[in-house]
Amino acid sequence: MYLSSISVENIRNLTKKTLNLSNGINVLYGKNAQGKTNLLEAVYFAAMGRSHRTNIYKELIAFGKREAFISCEIKGEFADSTINVRIQKEKKEIAVNGNVIKKLVELFGTMLIVIFSPEDLELVTAGPRVRRKFIDLNLCQIHPLYYHQLNKYHHILNQRNNLLKDIKKNKQSSETIFLWDSQLVECGIKIIDYRAKYINSLNDIAKNFHNKLTDNKENLKIIYRPNTDTDNYGQLMESSLDRDIYLGSTSVGIHKDDMGISVNNIDVRSYGSQGQKRSVSLSLKLSGIEYIKNKESPPIVLLDDVLSELDESRQMFLLKEIQGLQTILTCTGVEDVLVRIGDNVNIAKYEVKEGVINGKY
Ligand code: ATP
Ligand code: MG
C-alpha cells in the first residue's frame, strides 16, 4: 500500500496543503524547526489515531485555532481507502472510508506504517518501556485483538492502582482487589502469548538482517523476557500485594515485560559497544518492517532525520533494505541524502520552510 496524497489544515505550524506523494521516496528537507516532523506526525496520527510525540493530541492544533484536519488517500493492492481526522480540543474524530469509527481497532491496518526516529537507534540502550512500545506498535497494527487486550489491560491496571492507593489510605478494604487481579491475569496471559510468538518470529528475521549488516560476524539473538510466567501469574500477584499497597502501584505483570538482546551470546545492553548497539537497533527496526510485510502488506516507512545519525555504510544498508517501500523521510542536508539514494528510484522532493511545503509530484 502507499499514501498517494495527504492534506493538512491547522496542523501545528503547517500551512493548509494537499501533497501528492510518490510511491517511492519522498524527501522533506529544510532547516530546523520548519515543520518537517510535523508532517510525519500527521501521517502517523492518521495511521494510529495518536501522535508519536505526545499523548496530548490537542497540541497538534495550530496555535489560536479551534480544530485541525488531516486527510489521507491510500492506494491498496486490492482497494483504495481514505482516512479523515478531525482534532478538537476535547475530542478527536476519525473516519475510515467516510465512516466515523468508534474504536481505534477499526482504524488499524488501513494504513500500515513504521516510524524510525533517532530515538529508535537507542532501542537497545533505552529502558524496557521503549522496547515494549516497539513490540506493541507492530502487534497492534497486525492483530486488532492484541490492541483490544492491551487496552483492556491498561484500563484495569489503572483501576487496580487507584484501589491500591485507597487501601493504603484506609479508604477501602483489600478484599475487592482480587476481582481486578483475575481480570488482569486473564488479559495478561493472552498478551504474553502474542508477545512470545511475535518475538520468536522477529528473532529469525533480525538474525538474518544482522548477519548481512555485520558480514556474518555477529550472531544476534532476541528473547522475550516476560515479567511473569503464565503458570504462576495469579500467585505472583497475590504474593506482591503488600508491596503493591505500599507502593500504590502494581509491580507484577505484562506492563513490566522486556526483551533480552545478545550478540554472539553476550548481553548487548551490558557489554555491547555503542556502535554495536546502534547496529542491533537498526536490525531490529528493519525486522519490524519485514514482519509487517510478511504478515500483511508492505508498510509505509517514515524516517525522521535518521539518516544523518548513521554512518555511510549503515545508511546504504537501510536504504537498500527499504527499497520498493514507500518512504517519507526528513532531512536537513538534502544533497547528502540524494547522493545516497541515487537516481534510480521514484523520488519526490519537498522543501519545508516556515510551515510552507513546496514541491510537486
Ligand atoms: P528539526 O529539523 O529540528 O527536527 P522540523 O522541521 O522537524 O525541525 P518540526 O518539529 O516539524 O520541525 O516543527 C517545529 C515547529 O513547529 C516549531 O517552530 C514550533 O514552534 C512549531 N509548532 C509546534 N506546535 C505548534 C502548534 N500547535 N502551532 C503552531 N506551531 C507549532
Ligand atoms: Mg524534526
Could you list the pLDDT tens digit for every one of the 361 residues in the chain?
999 999 999 999 999 999 999 999 999 999 999 999 999 999 999 999 999 999 999 999 999 999 999 999 999 988 999 999 999 999 999 999 999 999 999 999 999 999 999 999 999 999 999 999 999 999 999 999 999 999 999 999 999 999 999 999 988 788 889 889 999 999 999 999 999 999 999 999 999 999 999 999 999 999 999 999 899 999 999 999 999 999 999 999 999 999 999 999 999 999 999 999 999 999 999 999 999 999 999 999 999 999 999 999 999 999 999 999 999 999 998 888 888 888 767 899 999 999 999 987 7
Q: What is the pLDDT of residue 335?
A: 86
Largest CA distance in the chain: 69
CA 41 / ligand 1 centre spacing (Å) = 11
**Cα distance between residue 224 and residue 202, in whole Å:** 10
Q: What is the pTM of this model?
A: 0.94
Instruction: Please check whether residue 330 is in contact with residue 28, taking contact to mean a CB–CB distance below 8 angstroms.
Output: yes
Pocket test for ligand 1, best of 29, 38, 70 (most atoms within 8 A of CB): 38
Instruction: Please check whether residue 126 is in contact with residue 304, taking contact to mean a CB–CB distance below 8 angstroms.
Output: no
Name residue, grid cell 481497532: 105
Which atom of ligand 1 is closest in space to residue 61's alpha carbon? 27
Q: What is the pLDDT of residue 77?
A: 85
Pocket test for ligand 1, best of 9, 10, 13, 329 (most atoms within 8 A of CB): 13
Q: What is the pLDDT of residue 290?
A: 96
CA 114 / ligand 2 centre spacing (Å) = 16
Q: What is the pLDDT of residue 62?
A: 98
| Vertex 237: Cα angle to 231 and 241 (nearest 5) | 160
Taking alpha carbons only, the member of 30, 44, 51 closest to residue 305 is 30
- In the chain, which ranges are continuous DSSP H helix? 36-48, 128-142, 144-168, 177-213, 233-239, 241-247, 268-271, 274-295, 312-321, 334-341
Q: Atom 23 in ligand 1: which residue has the minimum CA distance?
A: 12
Q: What is the pLDDT of residue 113?
A: 96
36 lines ligand 1 (CB under 6 A): yes
Q: What is the pLDDT of residue 242?
A: 94
Q: What is the pLDDT of residue 336?
A: 84
Q: What is the pLDDT of residue 252?
A: 97
Question: Which ligand minimizes its atom distance to the CA of 30?
Answer: 1
Taking alpha carbons only, the member of 139, 20, 150, 32 closest to residue 74 is 20
